[in-house]
Amino acid sequence: MEIQIVEANAADVPVILDLIRGLAEYEKLSDQVAATEEKLRSTLFGLRPGPDVLLAYAGEECVGFALFFANYSTFLAKPGIFLEDLYVRPEWRGKGIGTALLRRIAAIARERDCGRLEWEVLDWNEPSIGFYKSLGAVPMDGWTKYRLTGDSLQKLAAAHEES
């Protein structure tokens, strides 16, 4: 069966949300999904759209997606792409869908003259780690990811407003 990779649009929001929930379930993070169709429609396709979304179809069935956005390397003085999510429905894994999505993103990176394509993977996700290494990806040893969310983010923002 031929796999088709297409750019998502606002009409695809219900299937995008379904795929996000499938990804969260796989990553054992379902309790953290606050996304709704309304939020996705606004942030993905609203006045200030952020990321790009690609959908993978096998025939009429949407079997996976990739969501990515632009970043920038000051050292390279070039834009880059950060792959936030890549997900293939369990019954479609091992059929080249993840590879097809990544090939399309790599082509977009080349079209945009990007210096790099980056993403993160959970430490326990050995199937994905093996897949990424088979493509030539290497882990970024020596870097620790930091995150501000919720109250910590609000507190830091409030401190700016007070200064």
CATH number of 3-162: 3.40.630.30
| Mean local confidence (pLDDT), 12-37 | 97
Residue from 111, 115, 53, 117 nearest 86 by CA: 53
Question: How far is the C-alpha of 89 from the C-alpha of 98, rounded, in Å?
Answer: 10
Residue type, 37: E
pLDDT at 50: 84
Query: Per-residue pLDDT for 80 more than 90?
Result: yes
CB 5, CB 88: distance < 8 Å: no
Tokens of 64: 């996976």
Which H or E run contains 4?
Answer: strand 3-7
Burial state string for 13-42 with b = 16 or more CB within 10 A and e = fewer than 16: beebbebbebbbebbeeeeeeebeeeebbe
State the average pLDDT over residues 21-28.
96
pLDDT digits (tens, 9 = 90+) for 47-65: 887 899 999 999 999 999 9
Locate the domains of the chain by residue range: 3-162
How far is CA 122 from its chain centroid?
13
Residue 1 has pLDDT above 80, yes or no: no
State mean pLDDT over 132-149: 92
Q: How many helices (H) and strands (E) does the chain have?
A: 5, 5
State the catalytic residues: 132
Q: What's this model's pTM, rounded to 2 decimal places?
A: 0.91
Number of C-alpha atoms within 13 angstroms, CB side, residue 92?
22
In the predicted structure, residue 43 carries a pLDDT above the cut 80: yes
pLDDT-derived band at 151, boundaries 50, 70, 90 = very high
pLDDT of residue 116: 96
Q: Which of 72, 54, 57, 61 is nearest to 8 (CA)?
A: 54
Predicted pLDDT at 8:
98
Say if CB 43 and CB 82 are below 8 A apart. Answer: no
User: Sorting pLDDT into bands at 50, 70 and 90, what band is 91?
Assistant: very high
Res 144: pLDDT: 86
